[in-house]
Amino acid sequence: MTAAVSGWVGDGYDPQCPTRVLLDRVGDKWTVLVIGALADGPLRFTELRDRVGGVSGKVLTATLRALARDGLVIRTAYPQIPPRVEYSLTDLGRSLQTPLDVLRTWAEQHIAQVVAHREEFDEEHDQ
């Protein structure tokens, strides 16, 4: 978390803290999936839902709306019948992929240790 004065921990759970804002978005269940799905180019609503897999329409709508609100994604509606809506990453959205890649790399290299530790911990701590 960004420090308020010194060190790392500023004022606890401050909704204004940049890191907090980012974490609240990135921590969202579907945000990272959606950004990843859009990495290769624009997608329509249904394509996006199919690619992400497991997400309901309602929740995908909410996720996309939040991303659009944050300026990470652009929604483009073509006035046609039937409707055609495309979603694409903004430059800001694309710039987020770098930190996400760093996270992903860490995960790929270290999650095995985490999982192993979990099993060990669980064996010790119950029956």
Partner DNA sequence: CGGTATCCCGTCAGATACTG
Partner DNA sequence: CAGTATCTGACGGGATACCG
Smallest separation, CB 17 to DNA (Å): 14
Smallest separation, CB 127 to DNA (Å): 15
| Token pair of 53 as six digits | 């897999």
Smallest separation, CB 63 to DNA (Å): 8
Q: How would DSSP label each residue in 30-61?
A: THHHHHHHGGGS-EEHHHHHHHH-S--HHHHH
Which DSSP state fits 123? H
What residues make contact with DNA under the rule CB under 7 A? 13, 28-30, 44-47, 54-59, 61-62, 64-65, 75, 77, 82-85
Q: Does 75 bind its own copies (CB under 8 A)?
A: no
Q: Of the two residues 108 and 126, which places its CB atom closer to DNA in the complex?
A: 126
Report the residue from 5, 41, 45, 52 that binds its own copies according to the rule CB under 8 A: 52
Smallest separation, CB 112 to its own copies (Å): 8
CA atoms lying within 13 Å on the CB side of residue 29: 8
Under 8 Å between Cβ of 31 and 25: yes
Distance CA 69, CA 79 (A): 21
Picking from 95, 110, 77, the residue whose alpha carbon sits closest to that of residue 35 is: 95
Residue numbers at the binding site for its own copies (CB under 8 A): 1-2, 7-9, 11-13, 18-19, 21-23, 26-30, 32-33, 36-37, 39-40, 51-55, 68-72, 92, 95-96, 98-99, 102-108, 110-111, 113-118, 121-122
